[in-house]
Amino acid sequence: MKINREILTTAGILIIIAVTPLIFHENSYTMHLLIMSMIWAVAATAWDLLLGYGGIFNLAQVGFFAIGAYATGMASIHLGISPWMGLLLGAVASGLAGVLIGLPCLRLKGIYVALMTLAFFEVIGPLIVVGINLGTGGKAGLFPIPPFRLGSYVFNTDELLPWYYLCLILLAICLFITYKLIHSMLGLSFTALRDSEPFAQSLGINRFKSALVVTAIAAAMTGLIGAFYAHYVVVISPRMLGLDMFLFLLIMIIFGGAARFPGPVIGAFVITFLDDMLRPLDSYRLLAFGALMVIMIMLLPNGLMGLVAKINIPLFGKRDTEAEMLNPDIPKTY
C-alpha cells in the first residue's frame, strides 16, 4: 500500500481516538459522545461510499441501520443468540436487505433510485409498527437488549472503555474495507462510469453489477454498526428512523467532504460535538443545522477534506493530482 494523504489522515484520526480516553475516560459523558461519533462515522462513511463515490442516490441508509439494530435486538431478546453473533446477523440482514432493495431499484436511473429508496425508508417505520406480532415491539420499541459478554465480564453502562474500544475496532475495520474498496477495480469502475458512462460500458463495465455489490457492502457495514448501537443504547424504537438522524448523517458527509475519504469521519465527530454544544438553543439548533447544510453545499462543496486537499503540508509531500487522489494505488507500474 502506497502511503498517501488518505492513509495518513485516517491513521492519524484512529490514533487520536485511541489515545483520547487517557484524558477523558473519567468523563463518561464525553466518552459517550465519542462512542456516538464513531457510530455515526461508520454510518456516514458507508453512505458516502454510495453517494459520493458510487453516485448511487440511495436514501435508505438509515433504514439499513435500523434493520441491523432490529435484527440483533429481536434475535438476542427472542432467540437468545449471543450479541456477538448479533453483530454478524445485523450485517448480514442489512446486506440482504440492500440486495433486495437494490435488485428492483438499481436498474433504474439515478433519480428513480433516490425516490424509490426514500419511499422504502419511509415504509420501514410503519412496517415495524404493524409488525408487532412478529416481535418488533411495535411503537414502544425493544427493551432491554442484552449487552456483550467477554468470558465472565459483562459490558455495562458504568464502564464505557470496553464499548469504546470495541467500537473503535469496528470503525477501523469499516474504514479499512472502505479504503480498499475505493481503490479497488470496483472503485475504478465507478470513477469510469462517472467520467463517461458510454465509454465505460463499451469497455465491459456493468453498472448494475457494480452498483449492487457496493450497495450490499455499504448496507452490511451500516447494519453492523446499527447492531452495535442497539446493544450499546439498550433500547431501540421506530423513532430512530426519524428525520433528524437521516439529515445529520448527510450533514456529516457534506461537512467532511463527499467522496473525500475519510472526510465523513471528521464530519461525524465535528457535528456530533457541535450538536451537543448547541443543545441549549433547543429547536433553533436544528434550524441552524439546516442553514449550515445549505451554506456548506453552496460555499464549500468539497467539505473540510476538500479544504485540506488544497493546503500544501510539507509532511504530506507534494500535492496529489486529481487522478492520484481518486485511485492512488492502481497504477502499480508507474
Partner 1 sequence: MILELKNVTKTFGKFAAVSDLNFSVNEGEIFGIAGPNGAGKTTLFNIISGFYRATGNIVFDNRKISHLGPDKINILGIARTFQIPLLFDSMTIYQNILVGSHFGGQGKSEVENRINEALSFFGLQELRAAAVANLKLLDKKLTMAAAAFATRPKLLLLDEPVAGLNPVEAELFVGLVKKLNREHGVTIIMIEHLMNILTEMSDRMMILNNGQKLIVGSPETVINDPETIECYLGNSHA
Partner 2 sequence: MSLNDLIEILISGITIGLVYFLIAVGFSLIYGVSRVLHLSYGSFFTWGAYLAWIFAVKLNFNYFWVFVLVCPILYIMGMALERFVVRPLRKRDNFDFNVLLAGLGVALFLDYAAQAFFGARTKSLPSLLDGTIQIHDFVFSYQQLTMLAAAVVIAFALWFFLEKTRQGLALGAVAQDPVGARIVGVSLNKVYLLTFGISTILAGSAGILLAPRFFISPLGGWKFLIKALIIVVAGGLGSIRGTLYSAFLLGILEALVGWLFGLLWVMPFWFLALLLILLIKPHGLLGSTADH
Cell of 34: 465519542
**Integer Cα distance of 128 and 237 in angstroms:** 9
**Integer Cα distance of 103 and 81 in angstroms:** 30
Which is closer to partner 2, CB of 154 or CB of 291? 291
Binding to partner 2 by residue 250, rule CB under 8 A? Answer: yes
Q: Pick one of 185, 294, 307, 313: the residue that binds partner 2 (CB under 8 A).
A: 294
Q: Pick one of 132, 196, 239, 291: the residue that binds partner 1 (CB under 8 A).
A: 196
Minimum CB separation from partner 1 for residue 257, in Å?
A: 16
CA angle 84, 132, 242 (to 5 degrees): 75
CA neighbor of 63 nearest in space, from 129, 117, 131: 117
Q: Which does 118 bind (CB under 5 to 8 A by kind): partner 2, partner 1, none?
A: partner 2
Q: What is the largest CA-CA distance in the chain?
A: 61
Query: Using CB under 8 A, which residues numbered 270 to 329 contact partner 1?
Result: 321-323, 326-327
The helix-helix angle for 207-233 and 161-182 (nearest 10°) equals: 180
Q: Pick one of 12, 301, 317, 331: the residue that binds partner 2 (CB under 8 A).
A: 301
Binding to partner 1 by residue 152, rule CB under 8 A? Answer: no
Q: Pick one of 3, 16, 119, 323: the residue that binds partner 2 (CB under 8 A).
A: 119
Minimum CB separation from partner 1 for residue 201, in Å?
A: 4
Q: Which does 64 bind (CB under 5 to 8 A by kind): partner 2, partner 1, none?
A: none
Which is closer to partner 1, CB of 104 or CB of 331? 331
Segments in the chain forming alpha helices (H): 5-19, 21-24, 28-48, 61-74, 83-105, 110-130, 161-182, 185-195, 197-202, 207-233, 243-256, 263-277, 284-299, 303-310, 322-326
Q: Which does 317 bind (CB under 5 to 8 A by kind): partner 2, partner 1, none?
A: none
Query: Using CB under 8 A, which residues numbered 230 to 269 contact partner 1?
Result: none
Binding to partner 1 by residue 157, rule CB under 8 A? Answer: no
Q: Pick one of 188, 217, 241, 309: the residue that binds partner 1 (CB under 8 A).
A: 188
Query: Using CB under 8 A, which residues numbered 138 to 157 contact partner 2?
Result: none
Among the listed ranges 75-83, 85-93, 155-163, 290-298, the one in contact with partner 2 (CB under 8 A) is: 290-298
**Integer Cα distance of 56 and 175 in angstroms:** 19
Is residue 28 classed exposed, middle or buried when 0-12, 13-18 and 19+ CB atoms within 10 A define those classes?
middle
- The residue type found at 1 is M
Distances (CA, A) of 56 to 43, 61, 194, 195, 218: 16, 12, 11, 14, 11
Binding to partner 1 by residue 204, rule CB under 8 A? Answer: yes
Residue where the block lists cell 435486538? 73
Number of residues that bind partner 2 (CB under 8 A): 42
Minimum CB separation from partner 1 for residue 52, in Å?
A: 14
CA neighbor of 76 nearest in space, from 10, 145, 30: 145
Residues that bind partner 1 in the complex, under the rule CB under 8 A: 185, 188-189, 191-192, 194-196, 198-206, 321-323, 326-327, 330-331, 333-334
| Site residues for partner 2 per CB under 8 A | 51, 55, 57, 104, 107-112, 114-116, 118-120, 122-123, 126-127, 129-130, 243, 247, 250-251, 254, 258, 283-287, 289-294, 297-298, 301
